[in-house]
Structures are given as structure tokens and as C-alpha cells.
Structure 1
Amino acid sequence: METIDTQALKESFRTNGYVFLPGFLSAEEVSELNDKVQHFIASQVADMPWGHIFYEDKNDPTTLKQLIDMQRYDPYFDKMLNDSKFKQLAELLLDDAVIPKTLEYFNKPPRIGKPTPPHQDNYYFMLKPAEAATMWLALEDVDAENGCVRYVTGSHLHGVRPHGRTQTLGFSQGITDFWTDDDQAKAVAFPAKAGDLLIHHSMTIHWAEANRSERTRKALGWIYWAASAQEDTEAKAAYQKKLQAETA
């Protein structure tokens, strides 16, 4: 953290809605982390409940696409979420104490990894104020072909866009009026090397294309809520009712 220009980082987060930190983890740290992830998959996934694990094809375990709440099952990942430089960075950017919410694994399997629909995290979180940060760390090289993360610059400053149901498992809601002229003009893609870190505000529009390559696209994600943010319980209840109606 001491080598990072913290003021520039905070300004980018507040102005653009995201920051990019290339080489946030060293090659040695990435190697260790990949080993820990693979051990977790081999030893823990079979015992995880439905809703914490998603496959592109539920009949094919090689198509694992998402794991939720890894910190609940392994002390290594608990420490990484709750007592780490990732948490310190969230506190810096949100200018607040933070509540660590989850540590997740993401993959887009070769050729069949589906697009992540354009969305805003606070549509799911429903926080007032909408103060939260999501982190995304590349575990391997990611580019346009295998589904790099994309943002709409400054979109966190313009409220929540309309969302509707998608067919993407794990990302059930997406922006329904996406790709306006303004979206196109302000869209930016972030190809990343293993160890690069992206962080975005909970209101920032982001998405990723499908994996059209023969490679995987593995990453980890952290979510932190500002301590001052509170869930809008009425909006949350209405959202759950809407989801139930859609899946009935």
C-alpha cells in the first residue's frame, strides 16, 4: 500500500467509478493463490450448498463458473477477505470502515463461458447510501477474446438504470436500456495480466463478453460495504417478491 499513490487512486474511484492496479500481486503471490484456489475446488466444492456454486453445465463439473462465500469454508480465504491489504484498500477508497461481505471465484470455461450482462451491483445490494466496492483480481491473463471486464466511465454518478431478468446463471438481472450513445462513448475495456486488480464502485456499470477462446478465464472477487451504508429493506423485499414472481 505504501507504494500506491493513494490520492490519485481515490480521485479515480470517485471520478471514473473504477481503478486499475496492475501487478497488485506478485508472480509468487499469484502462484500461491492459484494453488490455494485449486485445493479449495478439489476439497470443498463437493460439500458446498446449492446457491454457493454454479456451473455452466450442471452435469459437467469441468464447467465450474462461480463460487460464493469462499471465506466460510477455508481460513486462508477468510483472512484474505477480513484481514488483508484488500480490506485496507476498500477502507481507503470508501473513506470509511468496511463490512466484508464475500469472497468469490469466477471462471468462464473455454468456448462456453457466457457473457456477464451489463449491471450495477447496487441494484442487488440496495444500499443507502450506495457506498460499496467490488474488487476483481485476474488469476490468469484475460483479454477481449476470453472475456475481460468492461466499464462505462462515470456511470456511477447517474443513478440506477432499469434492470430486468437475464438468462445468465449467477447474474439474474441486467440493464435493459444498455448501449446508448453515451454508454458507447464512455465504454472502456480492461485486459489484465495475472495479479492485476480492478476495483469499481457499486453504482458503476460493468460487464464482460463471452469466452470465445480455448482458454479459461479465472478470477477472484471481493465485496466490501461501507459501514455507513444500510440496506433498503423495503426495496429488498420488493426485489425478492419480483424474483419469486419471475421464477414461479
Structure 2
Amino acid sequence: MENPLSPELLSQYRREGCVCVPGFLTDDEANSLRASCRRLVEEMDPTQHTPTIFSTSDHNQSRSSYFVDSGDKVHFFFEPEALDENSKLKVDKHRSLNKIGHALHWLVPEFKKVSFSTKMKAVARQLRFVSPAVVQSMYIFKQPGIGGEVVPHKDCTFLSTEPQSCVGFWFALEDVTLENGCLWYSPGSHNNPTSRRFIRNPDETGDLTCFTAPPDPDDPTKYIPIPVPKGTLVLINGQVDHKSKKNTSPNSRHIYTFHVIERHDTTWDPRNWLQPTPEMPFTGLYENEP
């Protein structure tokens, strides 16, 4: 796949900050990621992991080193409604998780194979990346009935470079619908930069992470939904505003996503919550090595 993005898709991405590429993953690729994730959860002993709830509304996870230390590990984060008042599971563990992060792309062979495939490199070249690196990855479940809302945000708030360069590669591993929590984005919002950052808290007496400013003003009327079929790649400019609603349907909405930044003539913000480690420096997409 020499040029996965047509001129029309590239034009839309540059104009709107987000574009869908149906059929990007084969059924075999999507199924391999789902099977790999199921294996990870099957092998996961909930009693051996800090029962950390992941929420984009109150960022409860920021109070736990389990989140901050997850950049070079495979950690498990739970839905608020999956745990009781004693942080014990109320549902089967396969139905309890909000997401897994943040080093699937390097530590799990099936995810590594897809993340560093020839197709991904071709897309990065079409987006004019010179020296791209994969900085984090996530498997997000959107569990039936309890899959939590993701509030409006820009990815560059969390993964900031100067100048901004973050792009999200987002893959539907099953059909994504209005009912099970599809993405919504605000076309053209990548032209409205933000100074808001999610950083490691310099105040060591407080939470481990914090925001540097309140949320940017938001206009709910500017969002459009993007339901997509299984196998679709959604490219999300790091400055585009996007969100998803709670999944109240009986169907899950499994997706895999990773984020790429430019290393050439950019600076990774040393305040970012996510930092490279000696065990896993940020991984070059083209060379497929740290």
C-alpha cells in the first residue's frame, strides 16, 4: 500500500483535522488485536494490579503512580461502574476495563506488528513526518452499558511538542455506531491552538498530575459524529477537538489507538505526564527500533 491516503482524504485531513480511511485494517489484523487483548485480560489477575479507575471527567487516575508509571508498561484501567465501594470487581473482568495502556505497541507482539507495519509508515510519510516516533498506545473498550464518556479534548494537551506535531492513529476493531459511542469531532478546530497542558504536578504534595489551565471554551454545536465500520483508520490531528459519548447500548466498541509525534526540529515538553524511560525510549516509526 504505497499511498493509503488519496489526495481527497489528505485534503480533508488538512482542512478538517480528522479523516476516516475505511478498510485500512484487514479482518485478520483487527481480529488478531482483539484476540491478543483477550489473552492479556485472561492472564490479568485483578488482585495484582492497583484498582485504578480511568475517567476523563475527574481524572481520578492522576492520584495514582500506577497511571504515571504506565508509559513503558501494560497497565489496566477500570470503568467506575465496574468496581464496588471496596474497589472489588462487580462484573466479569472482561467487562470491567476502560482501557489498557500505554506500551502495547512495543511490548505485545501482535500490536507491535500492526503499529510498525508498512502501511503505518506510508501514512506517516504522506503526512510529511520526517522522524516520527510512537509515544503511547491504548486499547479502549467502551464496555456495553457502562463504557464511559470521553469529554471534549485535544490530544496535544496530553502529548505536547513545540511546535505541535501529535497525530492519533485510531482503529475500529468492530463496527462503531452512534449507539455504542462513536467519535465526534469539530472540523477545523485544529486551527485553534491551546496552551492547556496535562503535566506532572511540580507540587509534590498534591496529585501526581494536573492541568495548567481550565478547559478551552467549547461549542457542542460544532461537533459531527463519525460512525465507522470495523477496520477503519481514523486520523486525528493532535489539535482537533474530539469526544465520545457514554456507551449505553448492549454492544461493545473496541478500538486500538497510538500516537505519533515528530522528533525532527521539535521539542518534547519535559512537563508532559508521559516521559520516555531508559527501558523504553520513544520508538522510531520508520526504523522500528528505540
Tell me if TM exceeds 0.5: yes
Bigger fraction of residues in helix: 1
What are the residue-to-residue correspondences of 1:67-78 with 2, within 5 Å?
A: 67-68=100-101, 69-78=103-112
The answer (yes or no) to whether the contact 1:77–1:103 under 8 Å persists in 2 is: no
Q: Which amino acid aligns with 1:143?
A: T
**How many residues are treated as equivalent by the alignment?**
229
Instruction: Indicate the RMSD between aligned Cα atoms, in angstroms.
Output: 2.9
The answer (yes or no) to whether the contact 1:161–1:175 under 8 Å persists in 2 is: no
Q: 1:109/1:204 Cα in 2 relative to 1: closer, same or farther (>3 Å)?
A: same
Deviates more, 1:10-19 or 1:79-88: 79-88
Instruction: Tell me whether 1:66 sits opposite 2:66 in the alignment.
Output: no
Cα deviation code 1:97-145 (max 9, x no counterpart): 2011122100111111111010001111121111121011111111111
- Cα offset, 1:212, TM superposition: 1.0
- Cα offset, 1:214, TM superposition: 1.1
Structure 2 counterpart SS, 1:15:
helix
1:55 alignment partner in structure 2: 78
Matches of 1:138 and 1:154 in 2, distance apart? 23
The answer (yes or no) to whether the contact 1:140–1:195 under 8 Å persists in 2 is: yes
Identify the match of residue 249 of structure 2 among 213, 234, 237.
213
- Cα offset, 1:24, TM superposition: 1.1
Consecutive unaligned residues in structure 1, runs of 5 or more: 165-171, 241-248
Matches of 1:101 and 1:81 in 2, distance apart? 11
- Cα offset, 1:92, TM superposition: 2.1
Instruction: Tell me whether 1:230 sits opposite 2:253 in the alignment.
Output: no
Consecutive unaligned residues in structure 2, runs of 5 or more: 51-65, 68-74, 199-209, 275-290
Matches of 1:78 and 1:125 in 2, distance apart? 20
Percent identity over the alignment is 25
- Cα offset, 1:73, TM superposition: 3.0
Cα deviation code 1:79-100 (max 9, x no counterpart): 3323442243133214322011
Q: Which amino acid aligns with 1:31?
A: N
Matches of 2:41 and 2:125 in 1, distance apart? 29
- Cα offset, 1:224, TM superposition: 0.6
Cα deviation code 1:27-79 (max 9, x no counterpart): 33323332222223223576777323210034322311111111343222223
Q: 1:162/1:227 Cα in 2 relative to 1: closer, same or farther (>3 Å)?
A: closer
What are the residue-to-residue correspondences of 1:9-158 with 2, within 5 Å?
A: 9-43=9-43, 50-51=66-67, 52-56=75-79, 57-58=82-83, 59-60=88-89, 61=93, 62-68=95-101, 69-158=103-192
Q: Which amino acid aligns with 2:175?
A: D
Matches of 2:247 and 2:214 in 1, distance apart? 20
Q: When the two structures are superposed, what TM-score results if normalisation uses the length of structure 2?
A: 0.69
